[in-house]
């Protein structure tokens, strides 16, 4: 091999390494906001999945993600998922973003807030997936009947054992804009790797750790978790050790 060929080969290797780095750049939080059109009467239905928005993209929740139908546990924080007669944790995994225009009065809270489970600062919403998964994406939808409680700051954390949690991504919301929008607002925070890689490997627990909420309490509409099931890590380890044992036995014979 000539020196010229070797130097070309070296340059190619460096280029591939740089390209590889670019492909696995980072976990990102991509945000978008759907605002209902003006003019709805009190308790008129509005669904970001089927109705034409006043501004922002249409958006829909998944009914086939791995959190669908699960009951999250909510602990800590200054809040309760049923605050102001909202539905609570069941609203987070029902596959729906549907809500209503606000009644603008105290009497209709149960109707107003049926699409939401509320969260507050330092609250932990934990989803036990019941098995181990490599995660590709998590979509968190937060919202309210107006801009009063529609946005959250959060950390997305994952764990294999519900004891030690790792930080995957964090997001900081803008200032409260209570009173500025008087129609339903839905915010999507989509957490994924911009190079297409998984965002977590072999995890069972996914936790939304809320660090701030509009007006002290904000509505969460849905949490969609996407991934593929993998064997339990300890099972892998045992299988590996068993194979190693077989190999040793064979060598001894
Ligand atoms: Ca869902
Ligand atoms: Ca929902
Ligand atoms: Ca707001």
Are 126 and 77 contacting, i.e. CB atoms less than 8 angstroms apart? no
Please tell me the distance between residue 203's alpha carbon and the centre of ligand 2 in angstroms. Answer: 23
From the CA of 220, the nearest ligand is 2
From the CA of 153, the nearest ligand is 3
From the CA of 186, the nearest ligand is 3
From the CA of 217, the nearest ligand is 3
Please tell me the distance between residue 97's alpha carbon and the centre of ligand 2 in angstroms. Answer: 5
Give the H or E element holding residue 78.
none
Please tell me the distance between residue 68's alpha carbon and the centre of ligand 2 in angstroms. Answer: 10
From the CA of 65, the nearest ligand is 1
Q: Angle CA(117)–CA(118)–CA(122) in degrees, nearest 5?
A: 130
DSSP-derived 3-state class of residue 97: coil
Partnered with residue 169 across adjacent β-strands are 156
User: What pLDDT does 22 receive?
Assistant: 46
Please tell me the distance between residue 147's alpha carbon and the centre of ligand 3 in angstroms. Answer: 4
d(CA 101, CA 47): 10
What residues sit around ligand 1, an ion, with C-beta below 5 angstroms?
61-62, 65, 68, 95, 224
d(CA 220, CA 223): 8
User: What pLDDT does 14 receive?
Assistant: 43
Per-residue pLDDT of the chain (253 residues; tens, 9 = 90+): 456 655 555 454 444 444 444 445 699 999 999 999 999 999 999 999 999 999 999 999 999 999 999 999 999 877 689 999 999 999 999 999 999 999 977 789 999 999 999 999 999 999 999 999 999 999 999 999 999 999 999 999 999 999 999 999 999 999 999 999 999 999 999 999 999 999 999 999 999 999 999 999 999 999 999 999 999 887 656 666 566 655 555 555 5
Are 49 and 60 contacting, i.e. CB atoms less than 8 angstroms apart? yes
pTM: 0.85
Please tell me the distance between residue 90's alpha carbon and the centre of ligand 2 in angstroms. Answer: 8
Are 139 and 93 contacting, i.e. CB atoms less than 8 angstroms apart? no
d(CA 117, CA 91): 6
d(CA 55, CA 114): 23
Q: Give the chain's domains with CATH numbers.
A: 25-252 (2.60.120.260)
Are 101 and 183 contacting, i.e. CB atoms less than 8 angstroms apart? yes
Are 220 and 189 contacting, i.e. CB atoms less than 8 angstroms apart? no
């Amino acid at each position: 091999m000539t020196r010229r060929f070797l130097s070309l080969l070296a340059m190619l290797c460096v280029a591939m390494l740089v390209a590889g780095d670019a492909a696995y750049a980072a976990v990102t939080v991509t945000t978008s906001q759907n605002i209902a059109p003006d003019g709805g009467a009190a308790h008129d239905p509005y669904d970001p999945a089927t109705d034409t928005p006043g501004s922002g993209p249409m958006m829909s929740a998944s009914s086939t993600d791995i959190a669908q139908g699960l009951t999250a546990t909510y602990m800590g924080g200054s809040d309760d998922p049923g605050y102001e007669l909202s539905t609570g944790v069941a609203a987070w995994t029902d596959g729906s973003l549907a809500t209503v225009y606000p009644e603008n009065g105290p009497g209709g809270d149960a109707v107003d807030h049926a699409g939401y489970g509320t969260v507050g600062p330092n609250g932990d919403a934990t989803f036990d997936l019941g098995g181990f998964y490599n995660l590709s994406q998590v979509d968190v939808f937060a919202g309210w009947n107006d801009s009063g409680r529609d946005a959250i700051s959060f950390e997305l954390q994952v764990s294999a054992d519900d004891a030690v949690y790792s930080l995957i991504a964090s997001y900081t919301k803008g200032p409260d804009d209570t009173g500025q929008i008087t129609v339903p607002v839905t915010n999507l925070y989509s957490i994924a790797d911009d190079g297409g890689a998984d965002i977590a490997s072999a995890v069972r627990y996914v936790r939304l750790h809320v660090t701030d909420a509009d007006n002290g309490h904000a509505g969460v509409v849905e949490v969609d978790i996407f991934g593929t099931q993998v064997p339990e890590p300890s099972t892998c380890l045992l299988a590996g050790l068993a194979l190693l044992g077989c190999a040793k036995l064979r060598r001894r014979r």
